[in-house]
Amino acid sequence: MNSAVDTQALLEENQQLHAELQDLLEQARINQQIMQRHQAFDLRLIGSSEFRDLIETASLLMPNTFNLEIVTLALVDYAFDVRRILHDLQIGLDEYPNLLFLAENGPALPLEKPTLGPYQHELHQSLFPTYRPASVAILPLTRHQKLIGYLALGSAHEGRFTGNLATDFIERLASVVAICLENVINNERLKHIGLTDPLTGVNNRRYIEQRMQEEIGRAQRERSALSCLFIDIDHFKRVNDKFGHQSGDDVLREVATRIKKELRLSDSLGRYGGEEFIVLLTQATLRDAERIAERIRASVAQQAIEIAGADEALQVTVSIGAASQTPPDRSMSADQARQKLIASADEALYRAKEGGRNRVMLAG
């Protein structure tokens, strides 16, 4: 009798142990899956060499990997450096609603350690403009003792991020994200430098030719208008000869600034040669181009340019040739169409010079 009871008890204990073992194995399997997901995430993050990759990894892959409703990345960019680079590299900010830029006088967010806890509207709304989570982890991202941004994790569950949770894991995550972010921004900066004219800060010839090719391709597909202005400073040699090369450089910079002021964000300005600039106007007919060219001509001519060391401001003028393809000929390759557009604008510029300078002439 006793031995039957013992056997029964042993069987039950055995079953219980077996069930516990199954649970442990199941837990181990889940943990291994989580680890693999985290490792895959780390590799994607570390492998990001472009801004697009990093933002997509942070705002799309991270919520999946960590079971979160939202992840945003907010950058310190008070001087608009990063935004300017992204704009010039044609990375549209509208594409990334979870990429944010901090306001200089924004709320007092943590500067060193991550903070975890319930969502507080006053404090956190700028980090979560599109979704209001129940609990949040705000991770300051720092490099070389400087704050470069925040990674903000949001969960729909109140208990997900609480003040007493260990933060080792997310501190490590913040360090990896900060290093990757710095890397990616440096990479994009380098790319930008390679496409920028160092004297005037506007795009260089390589960029404008590349951009033109892309825009012509798009205009050919969409059958939209595209125009180009060829701008040349009049008698620029005299400026150099009379006031020196340094003053010539000042004039080039000021002319570039004045041209840029007359353009929309979607237009591109490039320094094409010594004292020549090219402007690419998207969705613009020849009439639009003429109007914009006239505005540029007037803005250069209207106000003399102050030059360091010269007694009086310099009266400078520009001549402009405008050409348009409305829409670009689809039988030509984008490269041929680009060359034709530039050649037509150049020919119109020649007529503007011949006609007495300080004027706009249209191709065609």
Residues engaged in binding ligand GTP (CB under 6 A): 199, 232-237, 240, 245, 248-249, 252, 274-275, 353, 357
Distance from C-alpha of 284 to C-alpha of 345, rounded to nearest angstrom: 14
Residue whose pair of structure tokens reads 């011949």 in the numeric block: 354
What values do phi and psi take at 61, rounded to 5? -75, -35
Closest by Cα among 99, 132, 139 to 116: 139
Closer to ligand GTP at the Cβ: 273 or 364?
273
Closer to ligand GTP at the Cβ: 73 or 233?
233
Both tokens assigned to 272: 């094409």
Nearest distance from residue 319's CB to ligand GTP, in Å?
Answer: 7
Q: Which long-range contacts (CB under 8 A, 24 or more apart) does 326-334 make?
A: 326/225, 326/226, 326/227, 326/285, 326/286, 327/219, 327/220, 327/222, 327/223, 327/224, 327/225, 327/226, 328/216, 328/219, 328/220, 328/226, 329/220, 330/220, 334/213, 334/214, 334/216, 334/217, 334/220
Closer to ligand GTP at the Cβ: 143 or 235?
235
Closer to ligand GTP at the Cβ: 143 or 205?
205
8 Å CB contact between 69 and 116: no
**Which neighbouring-strand residues pair with 7?**
none
Just list the catalytic residues. 275
Residue whose pair of structure tokens reads 């903070």 in the numeric block: 115
8 Å CB contact between 73 and 100: yes
Residue whose pair of structure tokens reads 């199941």 in the numeric block: 26
Closer to ligand GTP at the Cβ: 87 or 235?
235
Nearest distance from residue 193's CB to ligand GTP, in Å?
Answer: 17
Nearest distance from residue 235's CB to ligand GTP, in Å?
Answer: 5
Nearest distance from residue 358's CB to ligand GTP, in Å?
Answer: 10
Nearest distance from residue 351's CB to ligand GTP, in Å?
Answer: 13
8 Å CB contact between 263 and 280: no
Q: Return all residues near 139 (Cβ < 8 A) that are at least 6 apart.
A: 114, 150, 151, 152, 153, 170, 171, 173, 174, 177
Nearest distance from residue 100's CB to ligand GTP, in Å?
Answer: 39
Nearest distance from residue 230's CB to ligand GTP, in Å?
Answer: 11
37: number of Cβ within 10 Å: 15
Distance from C-alpha of 74 to C-alpha of 99, rounded to nearest angstrom: 6
Closer to ligand GTP at the Cβ: 267 or 275?
275
Closer to ligand GTP at the Cβ: 129 or 274?
274
Distance from C-alpha of 89 to C-alpha of 188, rounded to nearest angstrom: 8
